[in-house]
Amino acid sequence: MAEIQLKSLAHSYSASPSGPDDYAIRQLDHVWHKGGAYALLGPSGCGKSTMLNIISGLVQPSEGEVLFDGKRVNELSPRDRNIAQVFQFPVVYDSMTVYENLAFPLKNNKVPAAKIKTRVQEIAEVLEIEDKLDKKARNLTADEKQKVSMGRGLVREDVSAILFDEPLTVIDPQLKWKLRRKLKQIHEQFDITMVYVTHDQLEASTFADKIAVMYDGQVVQFGTPTELFEAPNHTFVGYFIGSPGMNIVEVEKCQGAVRFGSVEIRLAPWQLDRLVDMKSNNIKIGIRPEFIEIVPAKSDDTYEAEVRDVEDLGTYKIVTVQLGDQTMKVRQDEEFNASIGSQVNLLFPGQWLMLYADEYLVQEQQ
Ligand code: ADP
Ligand code: MG
């Protein structure tokens, strides 16, 4: 087990990159701490697989360093890095039995035969494939093959870390849920550093204690699911986490507030202070649907909006409102009732009204 540090990392697949767009990983500093259960979450193409392949040594980064427990490993081969990696599609030897497939990484590492036997048995039980051990891998279903593939990653006890690159893509939804729980259980049992790549926020938050959100070749936030929800550090996190995502509106600075169209939004004094010396004109406000309140009485703190749509989702409702020239989503409980076209008073509680400059959260200075 090791702490994995990525230092000033950048990677371009092009031999002569001409600008930031040619980089799959843009300037990235990140630490995966020893023994953690992590998710790496981001949309397709943001650089997740590239990051994993750089850690395991399959890809040499164009710039920067990879450190395991503080030691540079850039020059080490994948084998010497001692990382187990499980890919999206199963990697198994078709002509071998399930047992031989699982035993293979251990044999390679000269583990004594008796130990191999108990360990293969243990992993097969966890993955519920113990009755398939004598079967040739070629005769397995896609699900079973991927379980074997995962087993090959999990079987070694001496690895620095296990990296899972969207391993449950080919698995059916019900089994997916079960396997994810298994992985979490294995993590608790063996205390191995695990990085689990996914583009699915639910998958990320059920597996990981901490999630790194990746966007456009950068880690834009590393935090607990609650932190990502309550204080998105980047507009992308606001938009990507949550369902529906955060309401994000482009605004202009004005005297003592910010404005979109004719609507002036009041901010906290410290937010206004920070805006004064801000050079950027790319300013946005953000508030999650869960945090907007609809209140009966109009006041200095409310904004009048028109109900455009009410979507009943069983245990709650998502109300679409129009405020000035913007539409916003508001989450209400199932008792909420309002007809389309009616006026409502919106309240944006100060603690939940976020300010973004150049897409990053503007924070209160300590
Ligand atoms: P993700 O795993 O998040 O979907 P990838 O790391 O696979 O993202 O890809 C990041 C970017 O690098 C994408 O724009 C992708 O097209 C590009 N890319 C990935 N692998 C290669 C490669 N072998 N050669 C050239 N470009 C690549
Ligand atoms: Mg990928």
Per-run averaged pLDDT (10 residues), the chain, 366 residues? 94 94 96 96 96 97 97 95 92 96 94 96 92 96 92 90 91 83 84 92 91 97 97 98 96 94 96 91 97 96 97 96 98 96 97 97 90
pLDDT in the model for residue 176: 85
Rg, Å, the chain Cα set: 25
Which protein residue's CA is at the shortest distance from atom 15 of ligand 1?
45
259 and 312 share a domain?
yes
CA of 18 to the centre of ligand 1 (A): 17
Residue 202's φ and ψ, nearest 5 degrees, are: -70, -45
Pairwise CA distance, residues 132 & 366, whole Å: 59
**Pairing outcome for strands 343-347 and 354-357:** unpaired
Identify the residue whose tokens are 């994810």. 180
pLDDT in the model for residue 177: 84
The atom number, within ligand 1, closest to the CA of 44 reads 4
Q: Quote the tokens at residue 18.
A: 């001409």
Helices vs strands, H then E, count in the chain:
10, 21
94 and 220 share a domain?
yes
Which protein residue's CA is at the shortest distance from atom 12 of ligand 1?
24
CA of 156 to the centre of ligand 2 (A): 24
CA of 168 to the centre of ligand 2 (A): 12
Q: What is the DSSP letter of 234?
A: B
Task: Give residues (CB < 6 A) around ligand 1.
Answer: 13, 24, 42, 44-50
Residue 86's φ and ψ, nearest 5 degrees, are: -115, 125
CA of 26 to the centre of ligand 1 (A): 13
152 and 83 share a domain?
yes
pLDDT in the model for residue 173: 82
Domain end call among 174, 201, 231: 231
Please state the domain count of the chain: 2
**Does some domain include residue 238?**
no
**Does some domain include residue 366?**
no
215 and 303 share a domain?
no
Considering every ligand atom shown, identify the ligand nearest to the alpha carbon of residue 53 and give its number: 1
148 and 265 share a domain?
no
206 and 66 share a domain?
yes
Give the residue numbers spanning the domain of 326: 243-361
CA angle, residues 348, 353, 354, in degrees to nearest 5: 165
**Does some domain include residue 237?**
no
Domain end call among 176, 209, 231: 231
**Pairing outcome for strands 210-215 and 326-333:** unpaired
78 and 153 share a domain?
yes
pLDDT in the model for residue 190: 78
CATH (domain of 328): 2.40.50.140
CATH (domain of 60): 3.40.50.300
Pairwise CA distance, residues 216 & 206, whole Å: 24
Considering every ligand atom shown, identify the ligand nearest to the alpha carbon of residue 11 and give its number: 1
Q: Quote the tokens at residue 188.
A: 């608790």
Pairwise CA distance, residues 213 & 162, whole Å: 19
Pairwise CA distance, residues 35 & 291, whole Å: 34
Considering every ligand atom shown, identify the ligand nearest to the alpha carbon of residue 44 and give its number: 1
Residue 148's φ and ψ, nearest 5 degrees, are: -65, -40
337 and 201 share a domain?
no
Residues near 222 by beta carbon (within 8 Å), at least 6 away in sequence: 30, 210, 211, 212, 213
**Does some domain include residue 236?**
no
184 and 273 share a domain?
no
Pairwise CA distance, residues 260 & 37, whole Å: 42
**Does some domain include residue 18?**
no
Residue 286's φ and ψ, nearest 5 degrees, are: -140, 140
pLDDT in the model for residue 158: 84
**Does some domain include residue 177?**
yes
pLDDT in the model for residue 211: 98
Domain end call among 206, 231, 256: 231
Q: Are 182 and 24 in contact (CB under 8 A)?
A: no
221 and 252 share a domain?
no
97 and 183 share a domain?
yes
How many Cβ atoms are within 10 Å of 113's Cβ, its own excluded?
9
